[in-house]
Amino acid sequence: MKTVVVTDSTAYIPEEQLEELNIHVVPLAVTFGQESYRELYDISTKEFYDKVRTSDELPKTSQPSIGDVLNKYEELSKEYDAIISIHLSSGISGTYQAAVSAGQSVDNVKVYPYDSEISCMAQGFYALRAAEMANEGTAPEDIIKELNEIKENMRAYFMVDDLSHLARGGRLSGAQAMVGSLLQVKPLLHFEDKKIVPFEKIRTSKKAFKRMEQLLKETSDGSEKVKACIIHAQREEIAQNWKEELEQKYPNVEFVISYFGPVIGTHLGEGGIGLCWYKVS
Ligand code: MYR
């Protein structure tokens, strides 16, 4: 049984790793007025944030069509028997549903759509592990089992500079009164039941960094092996300094840095920063 992994562009997996592990990507897109750009192919993250600063139009995002996903599956069906297709949370995008529909239409390959219930490098962690297992010849059902175990242990928290992007794009859930009162502060956000909701009302970004660290510490007591990722929107230096600080304190945690690319950046705005991690079982 030959299995291959597909994910979408919002996992923001570095291109070398995509190539090395043979992970295929279906892109989402950002649109400024009439101009549409597919992530990974038509616009870089830097170009995107530069364009946001200079454009009169606010960007919008779009999921891949069922046809786009189907084309990718058909191409892969010539070589593979099974596809594990891992996508951003179905609570914030229709991409997973497009994968489900395309999977029902393709012949000669069995598709296992997987809702990561999250996005960005947290989703990337699922795709990387799935691809390692697929490349070792593990059966798709066993890969899905492992992904579900990772899900039990996955944590992600993030903050944004300006909550209005999330509110405008309709991707901020939770009690409306709470959401309204949060527009003036820097709440920590997380995913609950596939949706983005406020986790805690925190007034300053300094306290939010401390709180994310404390949450990491609570789930990694030194004896466990943990994989973690700092994710940022154009805050490379802050992310790098934070990584060095955390690495000193938590030697059992393997940290990498990733970014909020164009599609996620449309909804979070520049300056967001987050931390995600899971215990490796
Ligand atoms: C679409 O148009 O289908 C894409 C919608 C993407 C919404 C993104 C909302 C922000 C997600 C933040 C993820 C943080 C993960 C640590």
Read off the pLDDT of residues 13-60 as tens digits, 9 standing for 90 and up: 999 999 999 999 999 999 999 999 999 999 999 999 999 999 999 999
Residue 153, pLDDT > 60, answer yes
The domain of 208 spans 154-279
Length of the chain (residues) = 281
Angle ∠(136,138,141) on CA atoms, nearest 5: 155
CATH number at residue 158: 3.30.1180.10
For residue 93 and ligand 1, the question of a CB distance below 6 A is answered with yes
**ipTM tops 0.95:** yes
Alpha helices by DSSP H, listed for 55-89, are 66-77
Q: What is the pLDDT of residues 199-258, one digit of tens each?
A: 998 888 899 999 999 999 998 766 679 999 999 999 999 999 999 999 999 999 999 999
Spell 184-210 as b/e; 16+ CB within 10 A means b: eebbbbbbeebbbbbbeebeeeeebbe
Contact between 263 and 39 under an 8 Å Cβ cutoff? The reply is yes
CATH of the domain at 91: 3.40.50.10170
pLDDT tens profile 68-124: 999 999 999 999 999 999 999 999 999 999 999 999 999 999 999 999 999 999 999
29-32 and 23-26: which strand pairing? Answer: unpaired
Between the CA of 263 and the centroid of ligand 1 the distance, in Å, is 7
Confirm or reject: Cβ of 182 under 6 Å from ligand 1. no
Other beta carbons within 10 angstroms of residue 252's beta carbon come to 13
Q: What is the pTM of this model?
A: 0.96
The verdict on residue 33 lying in a domain is no
Q: What is the chain's Cα-based Rg? A: 18
pLDDT of residue 186: 77
- Which atom in ligand 1 lies closest to the alpha carbon of residue 60? 2
Q: How far apart are CA 272 and CA 157, in angstroms?
A: 11
C-beta 267 within 6 A of ligand 1? yes
Domain boundary among 85, 117, 152: 152
In a shared domain, residues 137 and 167: no
Which amino acid residue places its CA nearest to atom 14 of ligand 1? 119
Between the CA of 243 and the centroid of ligand 1 the distance, in Å, is 23
172 alpha carbon to ligand 1 midpoint, in Å? 10
- Check pocket membership of 171 for ligand 1, CB cut-off 6 A: yes
Q: Are residues 131 and 264 in the same domain?
A: no
- Atom 7 in ligand 1: residue holding the nearest Cα: 92
- For residues 113 and 144, state if they share a domain: yes
Nearest CA to ligand 1 atom 8: 264
Does 207 lie in the same domain as 159? yes
The helix (run of H) or strand (run of E) holding residue 198 is strand 195-200
User: Domain check: are 178 and 139 in the same one?
Assistant: no
